[in-house]
Each structure stands twice: as structure tokens, then as C-alpha cells.
A = this chain, B = another copy of it.
């Protein structure tokens, strides 16, 4: 049994082959940062999970139940003091006739604990190189925004490059709009105004993305969420990436452009840590 794995409240390391998470990618996940003895932004992660459950028609487990399972996971792993990554997967469980759900859905809850990634300090101080992916995101409002288990587009995009030279790959939709990177959301600056793409048609509404928009408002920066193309990003004064684990990475290089970390990005990163 993996000490860092809790399935439906019990230590486990495997899943029945009948689970719809495997059969159809029929489920959701959350990737979270454990630090200072708690899941950072747990309320926000739970709220997104609820939204995903509503969108997919999966009964959402009570927060109290997930809290107790989180405690089990952490107690088991004796990892109270250090930073960790916690991944939670919720599937529609087993059963049903083909794609049709069973009448009585019993979702599967999977908590797993992982080491915190060893990101180079220069990703934060100097920024990262971003590449442009060929794999495009398909548009489907029924699946947009939520963090569901159908992630083949991200897998294909992330496997376009093998070298460590690039930390991330930017993805466009089928109409050449900029949407996000393979595992992070994207932002850019014009003057002191902060832009990020809408995730109404495709892409994931990152928890860190939401926090950054909120922090930007607290710091009195203007923000705009909309439909943008590559030129909008390429003519900007600075680009950055975000997710719940990495926080904020400035982009140093993308295509033929080079940026030094913009003071606004540094302000956001500082505010985030305060």
C-alpha cells in the first residue's frame, strides 16, 4: 500500500478496471499545494471541484469528508511540515451501460501525495523560455473551464518537445486564439494593464489564475479577460505563467521576443507570498 494514496478513505494503490475514470476519462481532478500545514486555497479548489461536478453531473462529496481524507493522507505520510503536491481525482465510479451513468452513482475519491517539484530558482528570478505548441485546443463550452480527466490535448502538446530548454508550451485554439500553456495559465502586460485569455470555450480556469486577477485588483491594476491572438502577446511588455504549484513564472523568451521580468509581475508575486 502506498502511504501517500487514499482511495475512498482507505490506503490503496490500485483501482478497479471498471472505473469510469479509466474507461472514459469520466471525472475531475485538482492539483494542490500543501504548505504550512494546510492545502493552499483549499476553498477555491473545492469550489472548482463543485462546479466541475455540476457541469458533468457527478455528485460532489461533502467538504467535511474530503477534509477527513486529507488528514488521513497527511498523517499517513508524516509530511506535516514540508511542502508537498496533493492531487485529488474524483471519478464517476464504476457501472452504467456504456457511456450511460449508473442510476446510483458512487464516485471514486483518490488522494495522492507527491514531492514538491524542484523548480530552478532562476525560473522565478530570470524567467523561463516558452515555446509555441502545434497541438491545438478544441472548443467545447460544455467542458471548458473545469479540470476534467480528458487531457490528451495537453499530453500531445507537452510531448512535442523533449529538451529542458523550454519550461512550457503555449497552446492556441482551432481559431488561433491564445488560450493557455500545457500546465499553466498565461498573462501579459500592456503598460500596467494585465491581460489573460477567456476560458469560456476551452482551457482551464486555474485557481492561481483567479487569485492573480484578484490580487491585481487589490493592487489597483486594470485587468482584461478576453479573446486574443498571438500578436497581442508578442507586442506586450511582459508575459507570465501561473499555476497552483509553480506560482508565477515570468517568461524570458518566446519566439523572437525577449523580456526581462516586469516590475508588475514582481509586485504580483510578492503580494501572492504575503
**A residues adjacent to B (C-beta < 8 A):** 2, 5, 7, 12-17, 19-26, 29, 56-57, 89, 91-92, 98-101, 110, 112, 135-140, 142-143, 148-159, 174, 182-183, 202
Contact = CB atoms under 8 A, between A and B. Distances in A.
Number of copies of chain A assembled together: 2
Contacts of A139: 138-139, 174
Given A15-B17, A57-B156, A100-B159, 16 more contacts: A14-B14, A14-B16, A17-B110, A22-B89, A22-B91, A23-B149, A24-B154, A24-B155, A26-B151, A56-B152, A98-B158, A99-B158, A101-B155, A136-B142, A138-B139, A142-B156
A5 B24 contact: no
Given A110-B17, A154-B24, A142 B148 contact: no
Listed from nearest, the 3 A-B pairs whose CB atoms lie closest are A25-B25, A138-B138, A150-B150
A240 to B, nearest CB: 19
Nearest to A7: B17
A57 B17 CA distance: 23
